[in-house]
Amino acid sequence: MTISLKKGEQMKRIADGAFILAVAVIGIALWVSPARADELDQGKALMKTQPEQAAALICRWAQVHPKEKKRTPEALALCGRLLDRLQDSLTERAEKKCYWARGAPRTPACMQAEAQSFNARFGSGSFAYEHAITYIPYTGVHYRRILSDFPKSSWAAEADFYVLLREVRGHPDKVLPRIKAFLKRRPRGQWNRRGKLLWARVNEDIWFVHRKWSWVLFNSAIAPDELLIRAEPYRQESLRTYRTLMKDKKSFEGKAAAQEFLKLQAQQEDGVTYSIVNDSSPGTLDTWGVQ
């Protein structure tokens, strides 16, 4: 027996079917979307507007997924970039709580407790309190994990450079070979250029220190002319490296080299000590063109 429907009833059933299908598709999309937009994706979306929240999400994702070859190195690197950038503001917040606020305990123990709270949020070993300078710096632990667990990752060069920046304080005989070894490991590309910029800046630092103080004096003084003679080879090496970098005029390193070359050529220093002496600071990754 064949049942025929009027045209209006047919159209209504078609419309009802289309509505049910649309609802089902939306439901599936809502069910799938959160799975795709995990903490790593959410954190990446917040990096520019809410870097601290982004760091919490990305660093936690890296802890929960320690061995994903494709995404974990990226998460570790982004976590490292963000914590490197946040270390000043986090330290300032801790200082306000421990020393500046009314009724503050004004003790190193308070700062140590703040460092522990940062580690609980961003990962074990992320921060370590340095009492001598009342500072809670980022340790680079996520970058070190990239080098140990993902040495062939595309993020390994960045990690290698970051760790190197933490090893440029000390005598030139130890610091310069470390930079040379990095340049040998990273013979081309942007990280090689950054290594050369570091090489130039460290040589400029050595020139500055030699010219002003030399290294060690035992009950005697070094004549000013002798200081200049000891310093000049480092200035010349720095100028030579700056010239090399200046050939790539569009790169960050080329632009930075052009500015620093002019000052050094005029026997002036840039006012920044990146390396060698105890109170030097290589700066955050922003200082080296990493956004």
Give which of 288, 70, 77 is closest to 195, Cα–Cα.
Answer: 288
pLDDT at 210: 80
Contact 109, 99 (CB under 8 A): no
The span from the CA of 33 to the CA of 36, in Å, is: 5
Measure the CA dihedral 252/258/259/262, to 10°. 170
How far CA 7 is from CA of 1, 2, 11, 211, in Å, comes to 19, 15, 6, 97
| Three-state SS at 92 | helix
Helix (H) or strand (E) holding 3: none
237-246 LR contacts (CB < 8 Å, sep 24+): 237/200, 237/203, 238/200, 238/201, 238/203, 238/204, 238/207, 238/264, 239/264, 239/265, 241/196, 241/197, 241/199, 241/200, 241/203, 242/200, 244/196, 245/193, 245/196, 245/197, 245/200
- β-sheet bridge partners, residue 164: none
Structure tokens at 3: 């049942």
Beta bridge mates, 169: 276
What pLDDT score was predicted for residue 158?
Answer: 98
Q: State residue 3's pLDDT score.
A: 44
The reported pLDDT for the residue numbered 52 is 98
- Cα 71 from chain centroid (whole Å): 18
Helix segments in the chain, DSSP class H: 7-36, 39-46, 51-64, 72-95, 108-122, 141-149, 156-165, 172-185, 190-212, 224-246, 252-265
Please provide residue 280's backbone torsions phi and psi, each rounded to the nearest 5 degrees. Answer: -75, 160
Tokens of 133: 């300078």
pLDDT tens string, the chain, 291 residues long: the values are 444 545 455 555 545 554 444 444 444 333 334 445 699 999 999 999 999 999 999 999 999 999 999 999 999 999 999 999 999 999 999 999 999 999 999 999 999 999 999 999 999 999 999 998 899 999 999 999 999 999 999 999 999 999 999 999 999 999 999 999 999 999 999 999 999 999 999 999 999 988 766 544 445 555 666 667 778 999 999 999 999 999 999 999 999 999 999 999 999 988 899 999 888 999 999 899 987
Query: Which pLDDT belongs to residue 133?
Result: 86
Q: How far, in Å, CA of 258 to CA of 249, rounded?
A: 8
Instruction: Measure the CA–CA gap between 69 and 57, rounded to whole angstroms.
Output: 19
- Identify the residue whose tokens are 């340790």: 139
